[in-house]
Each structure stands twice: as structure tokens, then as C-alpha cells.
Amino acid sequence: MNWSLSEFLNLIELRSQSWCMVDLGHASGIRLPHSETIFFHVILEGSARLIGIEGEALGLNKHDIAIVLSGDAHAVRNDGQGETRSIELLSDGLYVDVPPTIVLGDSPAETRLLCGRLKVRWPSGSSPRGLPALFTLRAGQSLVDFERIMSSTTRPGTAALLTRIASMLFTQSFRDHPRCQAMFQDASLFSPVSRAQRIITKHPFQPWTVEALAKKVGMGRSNFASQFATQTGKTPMDMLVEERMKHAVQFLEMTDLKIAEISERIGYRSEAAFSRRFTDYFGTTPGKLRKQFRHEH
């Protein structure tokens, strides 16, 4: 991964206007086709079983949430022997503003579902390897109060609201899932400050400024400078000078390059500017240090 977990999650986009309520009578259920989308199922009343994901039947109770990531065909039933029917709105991804209620099976309803079909745009263009097939949030684990939300689902704009809520629950589930955590176990290596440090180390001769480094790692100048100093104990320019001076010493000791040539190679516009910086850093001039190396050898 080339992102921290927060960076990755901030770049994921979930979009949908395909939402509906489903009332399941006795021994009934819905079936969903294979799709390159994410399906979102919330048990609002009663209980159900999700069948077809990784060959297992997952029991779901009131306020449990299942987020199907694999795209596999599956079914949600309130009875293992019940008939399942497809719902055009979910199968084809039809757009709605206010989610309709779809009744399947005989009344009265034994199970009430909230179902959504969400398109996902991954930061890398495709889902990451190792992603689990399913996220499950049990009642009480969700950050969302569905009792309160469902009381206002007849108002215009509800489909957009539900998509935003689904995005938050997806983020919560992704962040907390052990397999997803393992994918980002070295996330600290990819923090903006760590990336900037690697950039400086690998390319110390480039004409970096604080602003240029901040832009390179996707941060604002002031915030980047502050975080860099807090995490490393030095400024970005101090670290850049440190790296350049390491190379300067190697050039002075190991080559016959003129001091003007060395200053140009390591990123200084003039020999005078390089010599001043070198003297401030080492307490001696480049010429004197080179003579010392020659004397030692």
C-alpha cells in the first residue's frame, strides 16, 4: 500500500441512489446477482440469514448490518427453505429519491430490511488484494442510530442520506476489520512526513522548498512544516541540508571534483552559498576538510 489507512479511506468514493425497504413475509427472501458493486443490508425488524458468501449462512438479527464486498451472488432469507425473488431496483441499480417499500411473501411481514446497491471507486482503480468478502456489524457496534434515521426516510433526499451513512459504516468496518488492518500494518511508513523524509533521502539534490515538499505529499505548507518538526525534531530544510552535507563529505573525500562542481551537484546555485552552508554545518570550510582527508591518507 502507498497510503496510510486514513488516506486510503478518504480516497474511496461510494455512490448510490439504489435503496429500498423490503418486507419479507413468512418463508420468503430476496436474491441478488453477481455484481461489481457493494450490497448493503440492514435488519430493521425480525431476523434473516445471508446465504452465498464464502459458502456459509450468516445469521442476522435486528439492527445487524451486512456489507457484501465480494460481488458474489447471494440471498437474504428469513427461512432457509423460503422462495427468493429478485428486486429490479437492486439488480439493475435503478435510482430513487425516496426509497420505496417492496413487499415479498404473505403478510404480515416477519422481517424488514433496508437494502442498498452502491458503486465504489477504489483509489487504485480496483479493490485491494486480501479484502474480505463481507463486513458484519452487529447490533450495538454501529455508530448509527437506525431507529432515529428510519423515522425520516419518507423525505426527499433520503437516498443520498443513506449513501452517506453507508459510507461512514463502510469506513468504520474497514478500519476495524483485522484483515484490513493487516493490509496497512506498515501504514506509518506511508505517513506524509515519512514519505517526505524518503523523498529527501532519495533525491537530496533537487531544489526542494518546504512548499514543494508539502505539495508532493498532499499537505498544506504550514501543517506539513508543523507536523514534520513535531515528528522528526527538525525542519524539512534542516534534514535536506543534513543529507546534502553527507554527500558533500563523500565527494570531498572520494573524488577530485572541484568544490564548485560539488556545490552544483548537490543542489547549490553557487560555490559561495555551498561553502557558507558547509562551514556553518561542520565548523570548517570544504577546502580545509579536503586537505585534512588528504593528510590522513
> CATH code at 168?
2.60.120.10
pLDDT at residue 3, as a whole number: 65
pLDDT at 185 over 90: no
Percent of the chain residues topping a pLDDT of 70: 96
pLDDT at residue 259, as a whole number: 94
Last residue of a domain, one of 154, 183, 212: 183
> CATH code at 282?
1.10.10.60
Helix, strand or coil for residue 56?
A: strand
pLDDT digits (tens, 9 = 90+) for 24-52: 999 999 999 999 899 999 999 999 999 99
Q: What is the mean pLDDT of residues 130-139?
A: 93
Residues 120 and 250 in one domain: no
Last residue of a domain, one of 140, 158, 183: 183
Within 13 Å and on the Cβ side, how many CA atoms surround 232? Answer: 22
pLDDT at residue 2, as a whole number: 53
Residues 46 and 144 in one domain: yes
* 100 preceded by a cis bond (ω within 30 of 0): no
C-beta pairs of 229-237 under 8 Å, 24+ apart in sequence: 231/191, 231/193, 232/193, 232/197, 235/210, 236/196, 236/200, 236/208, 236/210, 237/210
Whole domain around residue 142: which residue ranges?
A: 5-183
Helix, strand or coil for residue 181?
A: helix
Q: How far apart are CA 115 and CA 109, in angstroms?
A: 16
Residues 179 and 77 in one domain: yes
Residues 178 and 223 in one domain: no
More confident residue, 148 or 172: 172
Q: Are 206 and 240 in contact (CB under 8 A)?
A: no
pLDDT at residue 231, as a whole number: 86
Task: Provide the number of structural domains found in the chain.
Answer: 2
pLDDT at 188 over 60: no
Q: In this structure, how many other beta carbons lie within 10 angstroms of the beta carbon of residue 17?
A: 20
pLDDT at 110 over 60: yes
pLDDT digits (tens, 9 = 90+) for 70-89: 989 999 999 767 789 999 99
How far from 223 is each of 96, 188, 198, 233, CA to CA, in Å? 41, 18, 18, 15
pLDDT at residue 183, as a whole number: 80
pLDDT at residue 186, as a whole number: 57
pLDDT at 203 over 80: yes
Q: Give the predicted TM-score (pTM) of the model.
A: 0.64
Residues 225 and 103 in one domain: no
Residue corresponding to grid cell 560555490: 271
